[in-house]
């Protein structure tokens, strides 16, 4: 999971605080969602391990709200 950044300047080189603020909010929400999914997958793997089972395949999840797939 990599943290992306949003440039404060537009293509012409001028500072664009409105676009920056909007994109930064969206990026923060996406990063928060990604972190939450990673914690969930880690917890599931721990439960599987403590229950005496081995995970044989990759865990795949789909966010009902956004439709995004996590693998």
Q: Give the mean model confidence (pLDDT) for residues 54-60.
A: 94
pLDDT at 2 over 80: no
| Per-residue model confidence (pLDDT) at position 3 | 59
What global pTM score does this model have? 0.66
In the numeric block, the tokens 């909010």 are attached to 25
Contact predicate 35/2, CB 8 Å: no
Six-digit token string for 56: 């044989």
Residues 6+ apart with CB under 8 A from 6: 20, 23, 24, 27
pLDDT at 13 over 80: yes
pLDDT at 20 over 50: yes
Confidence class for position 6, pLDDT limits 50, 70, 90 = confident
Contact predicate 16/8, CB 8 Å: yes
């Amino acid at each position: 999971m990599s943290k992306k950044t949003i440039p404060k300047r537009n293509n012409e080189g001028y500072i664009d605080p409105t676009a920056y603020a909007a994109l930064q909010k969206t990026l923060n929400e996406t990063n928060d969602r990604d972190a939450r999914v990673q914690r969930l997958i880690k917890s599931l793997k721990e439960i599987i391990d403590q229950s005496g089972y081995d995970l044989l395949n990759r865990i795949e999840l789909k966010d009902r709200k956004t439709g995004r797939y996590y693998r």
